[in-house]
Structure 1
Amino acid sequence: MNDGKPEDPFANRLLLVDGMAILFRAYYATAYAGGIRRTSAGVPVNAVHGFVRYFMNAVGTFRPTHVACCWDTGGGTFRSEQFADYKMNRPEAPIDLVPQFDLVKEVVESFGVPNVEYAGFEADDCIGTLARRHCPTADVFVLTGDQDLLQLVDDRIAVVLMMKGQGNYKVYTPQTLMEERQLTPRQIIDVKALMGDASDNYPGVRGIGEKTALKLIRQYESVEGLLERLHELSGSVRAKIEADLDMLHLSRKLATIRCNVPVSLELRDCLWAVDRNAVERKFEELEFGGLAKLIV
C-alpha cells in the first residue's frame, strides 16, 4: 500500500491489458476449430477461458506489480462523431461471444484487477491515458494485438504485441521500433494518416498504400514535412494528396490515440495481489477447474 511516499519507479511494473483485443483473439482461436466451450448449463465460455490463459501467461512472463484491463464501451465515440463511417464496416459480434463480454469482466474483477472504460472513448484511449499518467512512476507494458498502439511507445512504455501462438510476444521499445520499421512512435500515426485503415474504415489518401506511405514518412519525417515539400513529389502522388487533403488531416485525427481520457485510476488501485479463493470460486462457477494451476 502507498504510505504517502513517492512511488519507486524502479520497483513498479504496470501491465495494461487491451481486453477486447485479447477476448476476440481467444474467441476466434477456438471458434474457427469448431470448439465452443460451454458450461453444463449451456453458457458459452470459450473466449473467457482463452482470455484467462493468455492473461495468466502474460502475467507470468512480464511479472507486473500492478495490472489494469481496458475495454471498449460498445457505444459511439468521438471518432464516429468526426467520421460517420468509422468502424461501420465491422460485423456484429458472434452470438456466442456476446454473453462473454460481461463474464470476462467478472473474471478480471475476481483477480482484483480493475476494469477500465469510459463512454465516448475507446480502450486504446484509456490505455494511452493510463500509460502516460503512470509511466513516471512505473515501467508500463501494454498487452495487445493491435499495432495502432505502437504510437504509445517511449522510454518507459513498451508495447507487447501478441503473436501467433500462446506465449509468443514481440516487445517494442523506441529502439526496436526504429530497428524493425525505421519509424518513430509518432510516425506510426502519420503513416496511418496517409494509407488509412481498412479495419477502422477510414480511407486516408485514396491511392496511397502502405509501401508508399512508409516511404514518404521515412523521407519527409512527418505529414507537415511532406506537405511543405509537395513540389518534390511525382505528379501522380502529389495530385492524390492534394485531392484528399481534408481526409488526410481527418485520418490523422482518427488514428491518434487520445491520452486525456478523464479516467480515475491510481497506481495503488491496481496492485497485483490475487485472492486465490476468489478466483477459484469464479473458476468453479464457470467450470474452469483446470485453470486454477495457472494462478500466480
Structure 2
Amino acid sequence: MDTNPAPRLLLLDTASMYFRAFFGSPEIKAPDGTNVNAVRGMLGYLSYLVEQYRPTHLVCCWDDDWRPAWRVDLLPTYKAHRVVEPVAGSPDIEEVPDPLEVQVPIIREVLGAFGIAVVGAPGHEADDVIGTLATGAGLPVDIVTGDRDLFQLVDDAAEVRVLYIGKGVGKHERVDEAWVLDKYGVRADQYADFATLRGDASDGLPGVKGVGDKTAATLLQRFGTLDGLVEAAADPGSDLAPGPRLKIKDAAAYLAVAPKVVAVVRDLDLPRGDALALPSAPADEDALAELTERWGIGTAVERLTTTLAG
C-alpha cells in the first residue's frame, strides 16, 4: 500500500454485502459445523475493495434499526413484507435465514478484532449512516451497496459516487451523475423523487399507481421536483395532462409522506475523521487468532491482514 495514499472514504452497506455473500456462495463449514460462508465472503469482499480502491478510511455501516418506527409511522407498508410474525409492542424482526443470522454476530466480532470501524445509529438504518458520513466528508467517497435508493447521494462536485453491486461485488458498476442520467433519465438529485413516484416493491413503497420509470422520468424532466409536480397537479392552469394530473391527485396522501421515508438522513451525530481510519494491522491479534481458529476462516483472515498491511 502507498505510504501516503490519497484520502478516500469507503462506506459499506454491510447488510447488503453479507446477504450477497451468503446467497452467492456455497456452504463453508466451521470446525463445529456452523456455516460461515457469509463471514468468509464478507472478508473476501473487504480485501477486494481495499485492494481495488486503497481507501484511507473505511466504515462498515450498520442497521441499528432496519425498519425505523418513524418511517413505519409515516408509511405502514414500509418493509412490512420482510417482518417475521409481527407482534404488537415488540420490535420488528427481519426475515433472515437461520444459517445467516448466526453469522452476523461473528462478522461483527471479526470486524472488531481487525479494528475496522462499525458505525450504526439508534433508530436509523445503515442508509442514514451512509448518508450522513457521505455528506460533507471533505474527501472522495465511494458507497458500496446493492440498494438503488442510495443513488440519491451521488454528487460529482462533492466526489461522492456509488459502487453498485447489483451484479456482484466483482462486477460492480461505478455510478456517477452521468450514469444515473443515462440509466434513468433523471439527475442524481432527482433520484429520491423518482423512486417515490415509481415505487419499490422490495421496500414496500407502492409508488403512484400507473406511474412507472418512463413516466416518472418524463414528469420530473418537465416539473423538476416532486413538489413542483404536486403543485402543477393542483393548479388548473398548469399544462399537466389530465391523466397524470389525476394520478398525482389520487396519490396525494402517499406523496405527502413517502418523500420523508425515501430520503436518507444526512445529519446524524456520528464519529468522523481518525475514528474511521482504516487500520494497517489487526487491533486485537489475540482475539482475531481465537476467532480464526474457532470458525476456520484462516485463509480469509490472512488475505485481509496482508491487504491491510500493504
Give the TM-score normalised by the residue count of structure 2. 0.84
1:36 aligns with 2:27: yes
Q: Is the 8 A contact 1:111 1:274 kept in 2?
A: no
Gap change, CA 1:68 and 1:87, over 3 Å in 2: same
Is the partner of 2:50 in helix, strand or coil?
A: helix
CA–CA separation in structure 2 for the residues paired with 1:170 and 1:216: 27
Q: CA deviation at 1:80?
A: 1.6
Partner residue in 2 for 1:167? 170
Q: Is the 8 A contact 1:152 1:185 kept in 2?
A: yes
Partner residue in 2 for 1:284? 293
CA–CA separation in structure 2 for the residues paired with 1:126 and 1:75: 12
Q: CA deviation at 1:223?
A: 1.1
CA–CA separation in structure 2 for the residues paired with 1:116 and 1:211: 37
Which AA in structure 1 matches 2:46?
A: F
Is the partner of 1:120 in helix, strand or coil?
A: coil
Q: CA deviation at 1:182?
A: 3.2
Q: Is the 8 A contact 1:37 1:45 kept in 2?
A: yes
Q: Is the 8 A contact 1:196 1:204 kept in 2?
A: yes
1:11 aligns with 2:6: yes
CA–CA separation in structure 1 for the residues paired with 2:118 and 2:112: 7
Is the partner of 2:163 in helix, strand or coil?
A: strand
CA–CA separation in structure 1 for the residues paired with 2:272 and 2:229: 40
Q: Is the 8 A contact 2:56 2:277 kept in 1?
A: yes
Is the partner of 2:58 in helix, strand or coil?
A: strand
Partner residue in 2 for 1:122? 125
Gap change, CA 1:290 and 1:75, over 3 Å in 2: closer
Gap change, CA 1:118 and 1:199, over 3 Å in 2: same
Q: CA deviation at 1:229?
A: 3.0
CA–CA separation in structure 2 for the residues paired with 1:80 and 1:47: 29
Is the partner of 1:96 in helix, strand or coil?
A: helix
Gap change, CA 1:189 and 1:287, over 3 Å in 2: same
CA–CA separation in structure 2 for the residues paired with 1:149 and 1:102: 25
Gap change, CA 1:82 and 1:166, over 3 Å in 2: closer
Q: CA deviation at 1:181?
A: 3.2
Contiguous gaps of at least 5 residues in structure 1: 1-7
Gap change, CA 1:280 and 1:162, over 3 Å in 2: farther
Partner residue in 1 for 2:185? 182
Equivalent of 1:194 in 168, 189, 197: 197
Partner residue in 1 for 2:91? none
Contiguous gaps of at least 5 residues in structure 2: 84-94
Q: Is the 8 A contact 1:193 1:249 kept in 2?
A: no
Which AA in structure 1 matches 2:266?
A: C
Q: Is the 8 A contact 2:67 2:79 kept in 1?
A: no
Q: CA deviation at 1:186?
A: 1.9
Partner residue in 1 for 2:88? none
Is the partner of 2:257 in helix, strand or coil?
A: helix
Partner residue in 2 for 1:144? 145
CA–CA separation in structure 2 for the residues paired with 1:179 and 1:101: 36
CA–CA separation in structure 1 for the residues paired with 2:37 and 2:63: 20
Q: How many residues align?
A: 281
Partner residue in 1 for 2:87? none
CA–CA separation in structure 1 for the residues paired with 2:77 and 2:35: 31
Partner residue in 2 for 1:109? 112
Structure 1 vs Structure 2 CA RMSD: 2.1
Q: CA deviation at 1:281?
A: 5.0
1:80 aligns with 2:72: yes
1:62 aligns with 2:69: no
Give the TM-score normalised by the residue count of structure 1. 0.87
Partner residue in 2 for 1:48? 39
Q: CA deviation at 1:79?
A: 0.7
CA–CA separation in structure 2 for the residues paired with 1:75 and 1:172: 24
CA–CA separation in structure 1 for the residues paired with 2:230 and 2:169: 43
Q: CA deviation at 1:260?
A: 1.3
Q: Is the 8 A contact 1:196 1:251 kept in 2?
A: no
